[in-house]
Structure 1
């Protein structure tokens, strides 16, 4: 069988990228830099591609693999990613396969045979599998169209998800110098980009950097008070019945949170490395294949999950960096519809993350970089300005206007006040108590609370005792958190998280440094998902006929049946946007159905008659 069989239906224009895009994937046009990237790689060029989740990275290597002679080799770190992408490609009529640890010896041998016979368009390989002598020998005998290194940030020790097995991928450039290489990731700061380029031999190759903006995602960070209750309220009020991901730092917290949500009537499942592998796989499959399931997970979950209709991502613990935050929140709204990135955050989160850095076995240079990344994330959490502008600015993207209209600070601007006196009181209290105590004790001293510890150390006799009784405990916690974020205080993990003054605190105490503090919010600041962005409705619905809701329901039920029969996720059969398109346009003929985005030649062949019958039934 010939390679690139998916091109056979392209009627004489098989070598044209736009034609393949339309006939195979059912898409009418490229987005952003996709076309430039596709043509560059198809012509044999190497490159680095940074494109946000949902931005169309996969097409940047899938199309050149179809347009070039041979098979495209895709290095992917997660089995879930391989499985979903291969299922989608097979639905589109592309000969794709995986080579990973889930295959038996006979199954792997059959994939190897097909590769050597020229019967594959794309082959997804785990990095550790690719580096085995057997696989390298196999690739040396095959006709290779290109190498695509997905999730390329994993190669960088400065990245948020470093994987040692990725280091060995540097040999691809040495062993296959004439085969084009494309490295792809959704997030990487300047330091990470430089390491990707160096390790993968991409010096001199162009970098294609798309905007990191995800305008459909609403960013919201709230002060952590009763996080479980806050999370339940957020889901119940804003995302009832929606699919979502909740991230927690520990396995115990994952299980407790999932149980609490389930008790509140929210279908939630735990996911972490300590669970039985079978249960973990079943929970992941339910999340992917069913509607409205919430997965509560450690950060081990999510990379490579293609589920497009995740309506929210929530964090109950602070991530390690802005890169991690961006990557994890980016799993919401891959379909472009309005979605939420919500996080509950407090001083304890900073202390916990700082302790983890201090107690790690990493070199001093690594710890310094990690602390810098944590400081940047804390600054994002504490900013009184536009969160989107600060987030994009971290990745070197300039933002004009300063008001995105779709983050909590832009929708409900926080009040600022002159905090110089409060800061001086707090810093003086920390200094006069010997810089040996944590936040709670300092607050007790400031408000004049006669606790056992206060009297034990004689702190009721200090001049700072009671000088802060104009503020309550919640307000003082906000002051402490913001001074830590500004760098005037730091939590010393070696001294039981004692708050210590930094060098910059001198300027505050002398009155030389201005301090503006944001007022603690009275409660949940964005109460309903119906709150409008100043950009307007971010996902306007197409004008539809009155029977639209009934037709959509019929199409979704049909899709669910097909997905069960074929043992694939529902979105692999048809994306929500394609179902919405069919319901809006109500095609009556094959040609009209063919014009719906997401309906390529193979899907038209497989499902065309059934879809038209559903439309006709809805109109009758």
Structure 2
């Protein structure tokens, strides 16, 4: 049971506004004491001795009763920003979260800490929901999780409870031009309209300035303080490689760098998800598929296995991942080009939430660009929406084709300046930038001649055959050997020419047209053909395996051989406890805490209490068992 402030009874005082704790001298004193009270809760409940970044200021803002919009990277500690104020303030903190499937694990994790938490959603029986409602009205809950579609149904119930705050998690879902829009989130204006005096906090791990403005507008957070943390995740190594045989490239990554470790593999289509998962499983990788077309029960089973077992690789569409709280995902791989930088950042951010070295790997090829362009052209939506989608894709292409530090460009997209990181592929193995004007002119000229002289348009493969002087059946039949550009491109190989096509698409000098994805020049190409514009291209370096060497400051467990042995013993103990309780292993203790225990080898409960991540409830629940593993008693 939570042993913090006494609950304030079954509801607000008669003269208090609905859902709002009354303003009295004691409450004012509590607000003035917020910094020390919050730190005391952090230490006693979570076992940490200091806040990170802007956490303390955000928490103080909310405890004071003010609204906040928080942009903080995944793994940056967003949840503490509303969990701690919910414990410091009178009443129950209500958390709006979009993923019902994850509420159970979130509540389990809080209960392990001694926090009184529950959820209300459609998976519960009437009796289970009624029991939660009774606890809420009796003041016996510190945190209550709700799905956004549940809020209108629960409004009358919340009117009768004492509400400490409202937290809107994954707030970018309210942005209609964002990458993860959820219509139910538009109904969250109810929070402002119905409970105007209850402080609100909206949180997201990714948002451009435009998305941020939309969140403020749609949630009516005009007076909220905005906190923007650094979007940098220094422990993640960003890598983009040319796509050759993507599945085999992925297998190489897993076998050489992430064997036995958890990962997420994103594919564009459901069919690709299933084929990739089946193929990886046949190669001995414990891989599971996840997409919206699978039965709900099977999706839930796969998600549960991923969260609760070690070393599972989830192959998924972007339907999977939002709100995933698994801290030890060691790699996120994309086998297809993401549609936007925001989506890419959000998805890669699911790696390394524990701060330990992790990999974000993307295989990217010409067909990805053609396919994405065609999907925008053939998709639903008006001209404005398609324009927005094109701009998102252009930014993603620029990130893939950059010769500069990828992290630097990624952060710049979110309005943040930084120097080269030293922990991405372009820093570790810099690509060569060269004057590609002549190759660009050869390719563009071939397209122009085919169009103007013969009224023909083709895709990249046939154009490359012409430039390389290949007398294929199609080239000969169509008498393309007679073109003046036939065979003038032998200075580059096929893959290099496909790279030229890809980069000219990214630079807006080529465009994809029609059902078959043929290539045409854009108006901007005229300056290149006339020699009035230089074209800079990148040449991929010959890369072997990139060594994972995060830059200084990235957390990593440095363990000697005896410590590593103890660490594995602690992990084995944790796995047994987690299985017995039916919770994910990281809910018991995360890897960083186990590594700290292995290094310190605490022989008493007092020494164990000094380890970061060991709070009072976990010390009481697991202290003796951990001490026995460490001492061998």
CA contact 2:357–2:556 (8 Å) conserved in 1: no
Deviation, 1:526, is: 4.7
CA contact 2:431–2:541 (8 Å) conserved in 1: yes
Note the aligned Cα RMSD (angstroms): 1.8
> Is 1:513 aligned with 2:537?
no
Deviation, 1:476, is: 0.7
Q: Which residue of the other structure, out of 359, 376, 383, is the alignment partner of 1:357?
A: 376
Report the counterpart of residue 47 of structure 1 in structure 2. Answer: 68
1:86-141 superposed Cα distances (whole Å, 9 cap, x missing partner)? 11110001110011111111101111111111111000000001123xx1111111
CA contact 2:5–2:90 (8 Å) conserved in 1: no
Structure 1 gaps, min length 5 = none
In structure 1, how many angstroms separate the alpha carbons of the residues matched to 2:164 and 2:417?
36
Report the counterpart of residue 609 of structure 2 in structure 1. Answer: 594
Q: Which residue of the other structure, out of 541, 546, 557, is the alignment partner of 2:557?
A: 541
Deviation, 1:424, is: 0.4
Q: Which residue of the other structure, out of 475, 498, 503, is the alignment partner of 1:454?
A: 475
> Is 1:496 aligned with 2:512?
no
Deviation, 1:594, is: 0.9
Q: Which residue of the other structure, out of 543, 554, 576, is the alignment partner of 1:561?
A: 576
Deviation, 1:151, is: 0.2
> Is 1:278 aligned with 2:297?
yes
1:324-473 aligned within 5 A: 324-400=343-419, 403-434=420-451, 436-473=457-494
1:187-210 superposed Cα distances (whole Å, 9 cap, x missing partner)? 011111000000111113211000
1:199-253 superposed Cα distances (whole Å, 9 cap, x missing partner)? 1111132110000000000000000111111111111111111111111111111
> Is 1:211 aligned with 2:225?
no
> Is 1:141 aligned with 2:160?
yes
In structure 1, how many angstroms separate the alpha carbons of the residues matched to 2:398 and 2:303?
33
Q: Which residue of the other structure, out of 547, 551, 567, is the alignment partner of 1:552?
A: 567
1:407-457 superposed Cα distances (whole Å, 9 cap, x missing partner)? 000000011221110000111111111162111111122112223333444
> Is 1:71 aligned with 2:92?
yes
Q: Which residue of the other structure, out of 158, 176, 183, is the alignment partner of 1:157?
A: 176
> Is 1:287 aligned with 2:306?
yes
Return closer, same or farther for 1:537/1:43 CA change in 2, 3 Å cut-off. Answer: closer
> Is 1:82 aligned with 2:99?
no
In structure 1, how many angstroms separate the alpha carbons of the residues matched to 2:101 and 2:428?
37
CA contact 2:326–2:586 (8 Å) conserved in 1: yes
> Is 1:301 aligned with 2:320?
yes
Deviation, 1:469, is: 2.3
State the TM-score, normalized to the length of structure 2.
0.92
Return closer, same or farther for 1:526/1:107 CA change in 2, 3 Å cut-off. Answer: farther
In structure 2, how many angstroms separate the alpha carbons of the residues matched to 1:90 and 1:515?
59
> Is 1:607 aligned with 2:630?
no
In structure 2, how many angstroms separate the alpha carbons of the residues matched to 1:61 and 1:284?
25
Deviation, 1:550, is: 2.7
Report the counterpart of residue 31 of structure 1 in structure 2. Answer: 52
Report the counterpart of residue 115 of structure 1 in structure 2. Answer: 136
Deviation, 1:7, is: 5.1
1:261-318 superposed Cα distances (whole Å, 9 cap, x missing partner)? 1122211111112223232222222211111111111111111111111110000011
Deviation, 1:487, is: 0.8
Return closer, same or farther for 1:467/1:550 CA change in 2, 3 Å cut-off. Answer: closer
| Corresponding pairs, count | 604
Report the counterpart of residue 203 of structure 2 in structure 1. Answer: 184
Return closer, same or farther for 1:127/1:518 CA change in 2, 3 Å cut-off. Answer: same
Structure 2 gaps, min length 5 = 7-29
Q: Which residue of the other structure, out of 476, 500, 505, is the alignment partner of 2:497?
A: 476
Return closer, same or farther for 1:34/1:25 CA change in 2, 3 Å cut-off. Answer: same
CA contact 2:464–2:494 (8 Å) conserved in 1: yes
Deviation, 1:396, is: 0.3
In structure 1, how many angstroms separate the alpha carbons of the residues matched to 2:486 and 2:527?
23
Deviation, 1:564, is: 1.3
Runs of 4+ in 1 over 6 A off after TM superposition: 12-15
> Is 1:532 aligned with 2:549?
yes
SS at match of 1:311: strand
> Is 1:240 aligned with 2:256?
no
State the TM-score, normalized to the length of structure 1.
0.94
SS at match of 1:57: coil
